[in-house]
Amino acid sequence: MQMSENPMQDTSMGSGKNPMETEKHFLQMKWKIGNVQIDNPFVLAPMAGVTDLPFRILCKEQGAGLICMEMISAKAISFHNKNTIALMEIDPCEHPVSMQLFGSEPDLMADVAKSIEDRNFDILDINMGCPVPKVVNNGEGSALLKSPDLIEEIVRKVSSAISKPVTVKVRIGFENAPVDIVEIAKRVEDAGAAAIAVHGRTRQQYYSGTADWDTIRRVKEAVTIPIIGNGDVDSPLKAEALMKQTGCDAVMVGRAVRGNPWLFRELNHYFRTGELMERPSTEEIREMILRHARKQIELKGEFVGIREMRMWHGTLQVCATARVCEENQIR
């Protein structure tokens, strides 16, 4: 299947173009956040309890352009919490990698950002989109959307405290509160943010309903820094549609990559050739399950590693079963 009118894709690729023209197209996949160059526009979303080190490595191997770590409490870092410090481990293969902080105290967040700047991350992201009650009830995550002045102060102080690029991840609204996400995006840019990831849902939606891509488009048109579109991308065709409709610079994928790190491989292949890849074989799925389990055990020990692996193994097992049924034409 050929792509059509993709701003990042020459549809004549794979139809006799010479190698120099093909290489030129590959260069068009690259983009930047501040001074950090990223090889492709496909971003692994930060997901608490999901994007731990073993899973991030698997996604990087499959072609994720930018890796985002699970969110980390700025306050917990300031308390030198042992479990929190463990979340900050980064493998050299992950780069470029974005570390995400959450919190609501501008001075504390700036101090923490400065204290960890020598750690091996490339970009520092600020969470302003988490919908979970225990975060929101502390005035953090998506609750910040109700306070544009506080958002601007946090971004300004954090971006002034460190030399690495600072980004933010937001949702487009908060229930029972007037939120002008376009105006917030402008203020975030003025405060020094190097990019914004926009999840096209409100806090109230959590992950239900349909993401509002048109609002992502309006944010993109209002600022000059890169915009990362997020919401409802579960295939190369959806990624293409999001980029066409919004003009966003990159695509962030979250839930769709859970148990499916091959999505990054498929995205890269489609945007570079215009062709849809076959889904992974049963053997590939089996090997991925085993590799993930081994990495979990190496990092967390057998008891914790295998317990956390249950969620992934279950998801991957569904994939494997579906694939076996397909191969044997079972309906």
State the pairing for strand pair 97-102/66-68.
parallel
Amino acid letter, 136: V
For the chain, first and last CA: distance in Å?
Answer: 25
* Catalytic residue check, 59: no
Beta strands in 55-122 (DSSP E): 66-68, 72-73, 97-102
CA–CA separation, 182 and 194 (whole Å): 16
Instruction: Please work out, in degrees rounded to the nearest 5, the angle formed at the alpha carbon of residue 254 by the alpha carbons of 319 and 207.
Output: 100
Give the Cα separation of 65 and 72 in Å (integer).
Answer: 21
- pLDDT number for residue 290: 80
Note the pLDDT tens digit of each residue in 70-81: 999 999 999 998
The answer to whether the CB of 4 falls within 8 A of the CB of 241 is: no
* pLDDT, mean of residues 36-47: 97
Residue carrying the six token digits 């959450």:
102
User: Could you say which DSSP state residue 34 is in?
Assistant: T
Beta-strand ranges (E) seen in the chain are 31-33, 36-38, 42-44, 66-68, 72-73, 97-102, 123-128, 166-173, 195-202, 227-230, 250-253
Question: How many Å apart are CA 176 and CA 168, to the nearest integer?
Answer: 22
Cβ pair 95, 112 in contact under 8 A: no
Separation in Å, CA 229 to CA 75, 244, 262: 28, 11, 20
Mean pLDDT, residues 111-134: 97
DSSP 8-state class, residue 232 = S
Find out whether 181 and 215 touch, Cβ atoms under 8 Å. yes
Q: What is the pLDDT of residues 86-107, one digit of tens each?
A: 889 999 999 999 999 999 999 9
- CATH of region 19-277: 3.20.20.70
Whole-number average pLDDT of the chain:
86
Enter the tokens of residue 253: 């994928």
Which position has the token pair 């009118």? 5
Which residue pairs, CB below 8 angstroms and at least 24 apart, start in 287-291? 288/58, 288/261, 288/262, 288/316, 289/313, 289/316, 289/317, 289/320, 291/58
* Model pLDDT for residues 211-267, shown as the tens digit of each residue: 999 999 999 999 999 999 999 999 999 999 999 999 999 999 999 998 899 999 999
Taking the CB of residue 294, how many other CB atoms lie within 10 A of it?
13
Q: pLDDT (tens digit, 9 = 90+) per residue, 290-330?
A: 887 787 777 767 666 666 666 554 545 445 434 434 444 43
Question: Residues 112-132, buried b or exposed e (16+ Cβ, 10 A)?
Answer: bbeebeeeebbbbbbbbbbbe
- Distance from C-alpha of 295 to C-alpha of 84, rounded to nearest angstrom: 19
Q: How far apart are CA 18 and CA 14, in angstroms?
A: 9
Catalytic residue among 59, 130, 248, 319: 130
Domain locations in the chain?
19-277, 278-331
